[in-house]
Amino acid sequence: MADVIQLLPEYLANQIAAGEVVQRPASAVKELLENAVDAGATQVQLIVKDAGKQLVQVVDNGAGMSPTDARMSLERHATSKIRTTDDLFRIRTLGFRGEALASIAAVAQVELRTKQRDQDTGTLLLVEGSQITSQQPTACPDGTSISVKNLFFNVPARRNFLKSNAVEMRHILDEFQHVALANPQITFSLFQNDLEVFNLPAGKLSQRIVSLLGNGYKEQLAACEEVTPFLSVKGFIGKPESAKKSRGDQFFFVNNRFIRSAYLNHAVLTAYEGLLPKDTHPFYVLFLDLDPKAIDINVHPTKTEIKFEDEKTVYAIVRAAVKQSLGLHNMAPSLDFEGDVNFAPIQPLRTSANQKNPFTDDFRPDALASAASQAATPSPRDTRPSGARSEAYERQLPPRPTEQAKRELEEFYKSLSKVSVPDVEHEATAVGVPVPSASALTAAAAPFLVTAPSAAVPSAPELPLRESSASSGNKVLQVHGQYLLVAVKSGLMLLDQAAARERILYEQYAHTLERETGASQTLLFPRTITFSPQDFAILREVEEALRSLGFRFTDFGKHTIAVEGIPVDVPARDEKELLEGLIEQFRTHAGPIKLDRREQMARALARRVAAAAAGARLSDTEMTTLVDKLFACQVPGYTPDGRRTLVMLELSQIQEFFRKA
């Protein structure tokens, strides 16, 4: 049998390697920027055209290369940073495997100009698909300039899989941001299609953060530092009030290399426990420095995932550092030992028109009328005559109940007595199907209901269950502001209020996007919103879908828009939070299949709006309408991402609850 194993041709081996190293234009940006930093540059310029598809150029004033080194840099596994095996355990540079330039040159047309400081002339190399077509002396400044043109020109399939310019530019901005944050001592600039996007002078880390992420962080930074013999943690965290719906502004650097680590992110979130609003994410830029022997950075081709030798210790130190910073800047909860909790003022639940201002010092609510009446009558223990009481003591007592207050309380308790167990025997239709009488359901549903207290026993007016009677006689009950209970032929149906709303809104938005005629409600005053460069790139990416849904906005400066209108069914509350939430869901969307951009937007907006209304107490009409709209949907049983909107509780299951054990 003939031999079948043979060595791959050099050009093919380089293309295979390029598949791991160069996935998109941003991959080339990362490798070239890191090489510029390793070369000792103090000024680095990034020039991008057509989101990197046409041109990615990095110009630095670093050490430069000799003619021989320039040619060797394009060979596979050629590096100046590794000599022996021991060097692998002392790596502190960014690039070290010697594959970057060779991989880039395998799938692009590369022009390399480089010159050392002590040389009169430099070197010009032209490479196309791993083949060096020209090498000659040239006049050029000190340092290196590498131009990557027509990426994937010889791999059409790979080029066809590149995303839109907005998506690719967002990835380029991410890589630029990582390198710029890690090296505030270097001046960085970024030009996109001949327009300057960033010009970052060398300075302190805090200045670099503000320059990159916006002036909104100027007053929100808190220094974080913890130094131990094993690990040092330095950087900045954001104050809790600066937390955002999007999680993009979170950065870990280990030995000055950007990494992603859900494990360390959990350590930070644990330190913020109890300080952040729901579904928000804190800002942080944290640098971890430890012995290179204690980590393995070569577990992923992009080197953004690393392994720690002692993960638990790293976790504990990071958490302690963040928690200490929050405490030092008075952002962590603390006990107030000065205040007397026994004499905290009691605020009324409601006030009538003729009552005093509840914010004045002499205000005493009429709700304490009964307590006042008892306090005015001397108890057996109080043997002093009434005249012996001090004037200060008298002032502490609430006033006697007024006739109006008594009437209000009586009317309130009478209204409670009108609430009764719903008549589940009435024939109704839950989903458009007639429901016969089911007297057994009365006993089954009774434990879930709250009957009114007697007028003599006060009770909180906030009931955990509400009853709605539809026009057809159908009974709908709201349980704890989260679920709806509906009597059906076979038993009881329990609906998740938020999930049902999400399904309804999703189908509504999907239909709107198909027609591209989303109605908009105009805001009384336009709201300006400033985004980070990454979030602004995503906004541009989904702008068409947003406008189809009914969002109206115009450019209002760098990375800033003025929101003039929002979809008609979206509450006009916090447009910034809504858009940030949409961007975050669009950024982190992941699923087994690739979804159309409009599909993603419909899902994201439906989830955001449904979440904003979670826990709301619904009126009778709203409860009935929600049930009717859900069963008018094409897929009423599930949310767009597969969560259940309802469950059925069969009559036999209900009866089983009450059988003798």
How far CA 439 is from CA of 418, 442, 484, 582, in Å, comes to: 22, 6, 20, 47
pLDDT for 65-77, tens place per residue?
999 999 988 887 7
Residue 245 has pLDDT above 80, yes or no: no
Looking at residue 217, its amino acid is: Y
- Contact 102/78 with Cβ under 8 angstroms? yes
Instruction: Tell me the backbone φ, ψ of residue 423, rounded to 5 degrees.
Output: -80, 90
φ/ψ bin of 378: left (φ > 0), alpha (ψ from -120 to 50), beta (otherwise): beta
Which residues of the chain form CATH 3.30.565.10? 10-200
Among residues 134, 168, 138, the alpha carbon closest in space to that of 151 is found at 168
Among residues 227, 277, 298, 217, the alpha carbon closest in space to that of 250 is found at 217
Report the 3 state secondary structure along 119-172.
Answer: CCCEEEEEEECCEEEEEEEECCCCEEEEEEECCCCCCHHHHHCCCCHHHHHHHH
Percent of the chain with pLDDT over 90: 27
pLDDT for 263-286, tens place per residue?
999 999 999 988 888 778 899 999
Count Cβ atoms within 10 A of the Cβ of residue 645 and give its class: 0-12 exposed, 13-18 middle, 19 or more buried.
buried
Neighbours of 558 (CB within 10 A): 11
Q: Which fold has domain 205-328?
A: Ribosomal Protein S5; domain 2 (3.30.230)
Confidence of residue 332 (pLDDT cuts 50, 70, 90): low
Q: Which of 164-178, 355-369, 415-429, 461-475 has the highest mean pLDDT?
A: 164-178
Check: pTM over 0.75? Answer yes or no: no
Q: What is the distance between the alpha carbons of residues 572 and 500, in angstroms, rounded to a whole number?
A: 21
- Contact 389/422 with Cβ under 8 angstroms? no
Region 610-630: mean pLDDT is 81
Confidence of residue 201 (pLDDT cuts 50, 70, 90): very high
Residue 102 has pLDDT above 50, yes or no: yes
Residue 404 has pLDDT above 90, yes or no: no
pLDDT of residue 186: 96
Q: Tell me, what DSSP letter sits at residue 638?
A: B
Given the structure tokens 């709605």, which residue do they identify?
Answer: 468
Question: Which helix (H) or strand (E) element contains residue 58?
Answer: strand 55-60
* C-alpha triplet 529, 531, 535: angle, nearest 5°: 135
Residue with the bigger pLDDT between 352 and 218: it is 218
Residue with the bigger pLDDT between 148 and 402: it is 148
Q: What is the distance between the alpha carbons of residues 203 and 626, in angstroms, rounded to a whole number?
A: 56
Neighbours of 491 (CB within 10 A): 20
Architecture of domain 10-200: 2-Layer Sandwich (3.30)
Q: What is the distance between the alpha carbons of residues 213 and 639, in angstroms, rounded to a whole number?
A: 35
Structure-block tokens of residue 318: 């990071």
Region 567-574: mean pLDDT is 73
> Which of 90-94, 371-375, 541-545 is predicted with the least confidence, judged by mean pLDDT?
371-375
Neighbours of 257 (CB within 10 A): 22
Structure-block tokens of residue 478: 């709201």
pLDDT of residue 299: 55
Structure-block tokens of residue 4: 């079948």
How far CA 624 is from CA of 94, 119, 462, 562, 619, in Å, comes to: 61, 83, 21, 38, 9
Which residues of the chain form CATH 3.30.230.10? 205-328
pLDDT of residue 596: 64
Confidence of residue 535 (pLDDT cuts 50, 70, 90): confident
Cβ within 8 Å of residue 321, ≥6 positions away: 224, 225, 226, 233, 286
Residue with the bigger pLDDT between 301 and 192: it is 192
Region 9-30: mean pLDDT is 80
Count Cβ atoms within 10 A of the Cβ of residue 353 and give its class: 0-12 exposed, 13-18 middle, 19 or more buried.
exposed
Percent of the chain with pLDDT over 70: 70
pLDDT of residue 304: 74
